[in-house]
Amino acid sequence: MSSRTIRIGLCGLGTVGQGVWKHLSANRSALEARLGVRIDLAKAAVRDPRKVRAVTVPAGKLVADPLSIATDPTIDIVCELMGGTGLAKDVTLAALHAGKIVVSANKALLCEHGAALFAAARKGGGRFFFEASVAGGIPIIKALREGLVANRFKLIYGILNGTCNYILTRMASEGAGYPQILADAKRLGYAEADESLDVEGWDTAHKASILAYLAHGVWVKTPHMIVDGITQITQADLKYAATLGYGIKLLAVITRDFERNELFVRVHPTLVPKDRVLANVNGVFNGIAVMGDVVGTTTYIGRGAGQDATASAVISDIADAIVLLTTGRDITPVATTAGVAELLSVPVQPLRLSPLERIRSRYYVRTTVKDRPGVLAQIATVMARNGVSIESVIQTTAERPEAASLILTTHESDEKAMRATLNALGRLKSVVEKPLLLRIGDFSE
């Protein structure tokens, strides 16, 4: 074994931080033998050093100020595991400016400040590793960055949030309502006390932004995405979807039009055909399908969250960082807007966001209307005026008195036309509840 000692500092010792400390401590000998170094868990920054934790950390290694770890010249690798975009950003930038390697699981920080973080790494000579920021234990970032580097990606789509997948899975299998299962998810630790980041789609959107950067080299922030959550999904929607041959999953969808050089990122509940792999990814598991122009479609499934899955990804990045420190061998650089074309010195144009009229799909629309003659004709007229063609209609009695539920599916249309259609439907006096719009994910593989 080399005489070199790699000193690691953890900024944050919450659920993930404790998992990293636990597994690094337990597997230290095997990792040291494999990597040819000594590993020293040197310091951990915590808010309250007196707090009782599931791991035992010597008191002398606990510090209150994470910035002291970021700027400590004896620390080789800084693990930012605090979360948030305030102090976490300051710590990460300080470490990168000091030329250190930073390992992070912070998807919100990357989504909001990724460009600044990578610029700081280039300027200061540091490196930024972030495998744990997307899909927990699934090595999707390594797959895009290394294993699939020869490919261009027309389509990437997947389940990136275990909380939402757990809720939708139980709703579909047990027939229980969203509020009851959300309460169970909180009790079991699958959902936070404030669940909005997960169930409203923002956590998935942050992860989708990172995947879009890796695949296409540009940062798409959430205001430029479509982001819908699962809070309006009902048992009726799940049953209607099943009748039509679909399951409902919250998906991130990243599409690239190489002819027009356009990109779009969206997050929304999606009807997925039951014979597709992702329709059968259940519980807290994540699943991601990547369509490459060379390899075709590859699919990755695994635990997307939790202490052990995320700690596994963090430790994987720590191992890569140690290889870089001891051998100078860097990982394959992340993709740029040019991708393979850049490697071949082919000039390319900057990527643009696709306009809504070029984001095409089939759609599912559920609306509650007054149960009287002529209402369906009104609905059909509104859709026809906006160029939307109805494929099928299911009408059932609604829970409200003297009301009916209309479930319509459309032939292929586009986001601009569907937005106009929903706005017009919402203005009809015969429509008594805001219509629900879901996309139908007939992804060609």
pLDDT in tens, the chain (445 residues): 457 999 999 999 988 899 999 999 999 999 999 999 999 999 999 988 878 888 888 888 999 999 999 999 999 999 999 988 899 999 999 999 999 999 998 888 988 898 899 899 989 989 998 877 887 667 787 788 777 878 889 999 999 998 899 999 999 999 888 888 988 888 877 777 788 989 999 999 999 998 998 888 888 989 999 999 999 999 999 999 999 999 999 999 999 999 999 999 999 999 999 999 999 999 989 999 999 888 889 999 988 767 777 888 888 889 989 988 988 766 544 444 444 333 333 445 578 999 999 999 999 999 999 999 999 999 999 999 999 999 999 998 888 888 999 999 999 999 999 999 999 999 999 999 999 999 999 886 5
CA distance 387 to 382: 9
Q: In Å, how far from its chain's centre is CA 286? A: 9
The sign one gets for the Cα dihedral 69, 41, 97, 84 is negative
Please, what is the Cα angle at 364 between 360 and 370, to 5 degrees? Answer: 135
- The answer to whether 278 and 249 are in contact (CB under 8 A) is yes
Which one of the listed residues 89, 142, 207, 249 is annotated catalytic? Answer: 207
Which residues does residue 410 pair with via DSSP β-bridges, in sequence order? Answer: 390
pLDDT, position 347:
43
| Exposed / middle / buried, residue 330 (Cβ in 10 Å: 0-12, 13-18, 19+) | exposed
Known catalytic residue at 207: yes
Question: Diameter of the chain by CA atoms?
Answer: 84
Angle at 212 between CA 211 and CA 216, to 5 degrees: 120
| Nearest CA among 135, 97, 138, 136 for reference residue 118 | 97
- Let me know if 264 is exposed, middle or buried by CB neighbors in 10 A (0-12, 13-18, 19+): buried
Q: Which domains does the chain have, with CATH numbers?
A: 5-129 (3.40.50.720), 140-303+343-352 (3.30.360.10), 356-440 (3.30.70.260)
CB contact burial 350-385 (16+ within 10 A = b; e otherwise): ebeebebeebebbbbbbbbbbbeeebbeebeebbee
Measuring CA to CA, how many Å separate 107 from each of 81, 82, 210? 11, 11, 7
Q: Tell me, what's the pLDDT at 337? A: 40
| Nearest residue to 28 (alpha-carbon basis) of 1, 66, 68 | 1
Distance (Å, whole) CA 248 – CA 306: 23
* Angle in degrees, CA 222, 277, 337, rounded to 5: 40
Q: What is the pLDDT at residue 327?
A: 86
Beta strands 226-227; 262-273: pairing state: parallel
Instruction: Give ∠ CA 438-219-206 in degrees, rounded to 5.
Output: 50
CA–CA gap between residue 132 and residue 18 (Å, rounded): 15
